[in-house]
Structure 1
């Protein structure tokens, strides 16, 4: 693979490593599954956790939401050359990796870990899952797509097996930040990694989450 793969590195020191991780839902000891929730540019970890209040599910979730330094995971568009978004991009991916390891140490299998991101957070979560394929509970990418090398996503840069991990991608077909072409390219890569992908492009929708997307999230959690 030409893209680097984040690994456990106790010496890694990026802008997001010292930031807080918001928690919500039920305590880990009472949870059926865990969800890592990644906020968008200019938002906060507590704000993305509030989205879970919209889910109608019997599944008991423990929630973890990392906070981006300066409320931004990386400075430029996710379609800018990736080196321009360093060190924020690497730091954000490492932050997610470390949360996954913490959850596994708390007894959660990868199959019981879900990822949800909105906008910049959806891009970061999508890139993480594609670079670290395993059988996860699911990925929910709301108004986002894979980052790749920024100006391109090459399927040959990714390898591994997502083992039919369910992935939901929802986005406007005219989103000012997320071109639908990148959503389509991301779907192709995830399908090539053996994910079970559901993609919805909503005509004329703004850069937000709609009720149909919430319905798809609930269906994934209840399946």
Structure 2
């Protein structure tokens, strides 16, 4: 990995004076969105968490992206791993004041969250993936899938089967990967489309409470 001075734009749910000793939940937004997008979820999440929403590094259109879309010619696994390495470098600068680190990603943000888990499985308490997918890594050593499989970390995957945004090939791979590697909680939400419902957010709150706070 090349040296990076990447310092992401981050929005926090608590002032710095109130973060020490709290569990950290990092939010990763989707394609063409920004760090503010998922902060609307915060009131529905366990109040014990300090929530940090991170902006993706690449400006594109009306927002930002973590890496090119997988069907685009400029997509590469290296662009995924660079984005994840940068996130991990930032995490290294903040994780010391928190009791645990959990991740929540929406759409492409789920690909980022699960990739951080696969790179640093020993550091992540739980992952929430909403209407998203896992990146096929082709055995790239950056992704320590064997360690993930050995640890079986808790992962929540919520989606609508009628979601037209995440293509069937991504769903097929994700389904196979999560079933093999994690302690999976999978819930389908008909009618949600490519979004998040109040019921789903209530389930996420319950998942984080039992798997992280009381785990």
Q: Is TM-score (shorter-chain normalized) higher than 0.5? A: yes
In structure 1, how many angstroms separate the alpha carbons of the residues matched to 2:77 and 2:152?
A: 31
Change (3 A) 1:74 1:161: closer
- Cα-to-partner distance string for 1:30-72 (whole Å, 9 max, x where unaligned): 55300110011121112222321222x3x42222222122111
- The yes-or-no answer on 1:72 pairing with 2:65 is yes
- Once the two structures are TM-superposed, the CA of residue 93 in structure 1 deviates from its matched residue by 0.7
TM-score normalised by L of structure 1: 0.75
User: Tell me, what secondary structure is at the counterpart of 2:195?
Assistant: coil
- Once the two structures are TM-superposed, the CA of residue 204 in structure 1 deviates from its matched residue by 4.6
Query: Is the CA contact 1:20–1:66 (under 8 Å) kept in the aligned structure 2?
Result: yes
- Cα-to-partner distance string for 1:165-194 (whole Å, 9 max, x where unaligned): 22100111122221355345324323433x
**After the TM superposition, which residues 66-105 of structure 1 pair with which residues of structure 2 at under 5 Å, given as runs?**
66-68=54-56, 69-70=58-59, 71-77=64-70, 80=71, 84-85=75-76, 88-104=79-95
- The yes-or-no answer on 1:34 pairing with 2:24 is yes
**After the TM superposition, which residues 1-223 of structure 1 pair with which residues of structure 2 at under 5 Å, given as runs?**
11-12=3-4, 17-25=6-14, 27=16, 29-55=19-45, 57=46, 59-68=47-56, 69-70=58-59, 71-77=64-70, 80=71, 84-85=75-76, 88-104=79-95, 106-109=96-99, 112-134=100-122, 136-149=124-137, 158-161=145-148, 163-179=151-167, 182-193=170-181, 195-223=182-210
In structure 1, how many angstroms separate the alpha carbons of the residues matched to 2:72 and 2:139?
A: 11
Count how many residue pairs are aligned between Structure 1 and Structure 2: 201
Matched with 2:213 is none
Query: Is the CA contact 2:120–2:144 (under 8 Å) kept in the aligned structure 1?
Result: no
Change (3 A) 1:128 1:30: closer
- Once the two structures are TM-superposed, the CA of residue 10 in structure 1 deviates from its matched residue by 6.9
In structure 2, how many angstroms separate the alpha carbons of the residues matched to 1:128 and 1:81?
A: 22
Query: Is the CA contact 1:74–1:86 (under 8 Å) kept in the aligned structure 2?
Result: no
Change (3 A) 1:29 1:132: closer
Query: Is the CA contact 1:168–1:216 (under 8 Å) kept in the aligned structure 2?
Result: no
Query: Is the CA contact 1:147–1:153 (under 8 Å) kept in the aligned structure 2?
Result: no
- Cα-to-partner distance string for 1:77-125 (whole Å, 9 max, x where unaligned): 4xx3896246642332123212321233x3335xx21100111111111
TM-score normalised by L of structure 2: 0.78
